[in-house]
Amino acid sequence: MWLRVCFGLGLFLGSMWVGWWLHRRGRLSEALAERLVRGVILGPSPVVLGLSFWRMDFHSIEPWVLPLLGFLISASTLLPAALYVRRARLPRPQAGSFLTAAFFSNLGYLGAFTAFALYGEAGYALCMIYLIFFTPSFYTLGFRIAARHGEARHPSREGGASGSELQLLPFVGMAVGAALSLARVPRPAALEGLNHLLIPLSTAVYLAAIGSQLTFHSPRPWLRPCLAMSAIKFLYTPAVAWLLVTLFHLEGLPRIVVLLESATPVAVSPLVLPLLFGLDRKLANSLWLFTTAAAIPWFLLLIPLLPRL
């Protein structure tokens, strides 16, 4: 398990660094990064999602409590985010970046690995179940918000895939996989190793494209949105999560996992949406950098309290 954890962290940080380095060398432009992301979404992603959903058991309702809570907690962030966007009178591209950053949190790379370090494989497995909602939500709700607030991008005018096509193919992959699972069609043994190749390969390309567009300037011009986002991520969502786990009578390690995941910073995935839909890239980068840095002292304060919440 430790080898997989180290591999995951290395893939995450290494791919983003490679993308940033290639951009600095002039070899990975914004236009090329956008084409790479679109290629991943239209190519391997539907296959990966289809195979993953095919393997899941959709016949039992119990495992869906955690992802249901995950979706409800994430969706609840759209209310304070929308109120802030309206009060701050953010332009549409900035509003789209803020809304998508509010909805999507770093549940996997930070939340799941923290749970593993604290509670072992049981905590990690519960996190993997909790974040099942993330990918379907990203390709549906996330893309819809971004398309509504973004500016027109040049690939669609040059015959590239439109936003609706980018949403459709991953959704088709999920739907086909879920249908095969519900029909109890066994997945062929020949396909068992395919995702072990496609997932790291497509993830590396995806993260490199995102990393190429990262900027490490001071978030000071975006201090107010960053503070508002920190309040949403570190105060509002943990409060919502506590109310929900209490309402659902969730106890023990599942309760701790939900509370931990609800306090994670902005995810990496929203950083790709400015590439695809013309959202504000500088604001998205600042929200990610600021909340990720703030999460370190926040976790040191929160983690000892989790068993008593």
pLDDT in tens, 277-302: 889 988 998 998 899 889 888 888 88
Backbone angles phi, psi at 266, to 5 degrees: -60, 140
- Exposure string for 16-47, b = 16+ CB within 10 A, e = fewer: bebbbebbeeeebeeeebbebbbbbbbebbbb
Q: Give me the residue spans of the domains in the chain.
A: 14-156+164-308
CA atoms within 13 Å, Cβ hemisphere of 107:
31
Q: What are the helix and strand counts (H, E) for the chain?
A: 17, 0
pLDDT given at position 174: 78
Contact between 110 and 234 (Cβ < 8 Å): no
pLDDT at 157: 41
Say what the pLDDT of residue 259 is: 94
CA distances 134 to 73, 129, 148, 212, 265, Å, are 12, 10, 20, 23, 14
AA letter at 73: I
145-194 pLDDT, tens digit per residue, is 998 998 755 444 444 455 556 667 777 887 888 888 888 898 888 787 78
Output the pLDDT for position 240. 96
Q: How far apart are CA 223 and CA 213, in angstroms?
A: 20
In the chain, which residues have pLDDT < 50? 1-2, 5, 154-160
* pTM (global) more than 0.95: no
Residue 285's closest CA among 206, 222, 195?
222
Q: Using CB atoms within 10 A of its CB, is residue 225 exposed (0-12), middle (13-18) or buried (19+)?
A: buried
The pLDDT of residue 8 is: 56
Q: Give the pLDDT of residue 241.
A: 95
DSSP 34: H
Between the CA of residue 270 and those of 15, 25, 218, 252, 254, what are the distances in Å?
16, 25, 19, 31, 26
pLDDT of the residue at 270:
87
Query: What architecture does CATH give domain 14-156+164-308?
Result: Up-down Bundle (1.20)
Identify the three-state secondary structure at position 267.
coil
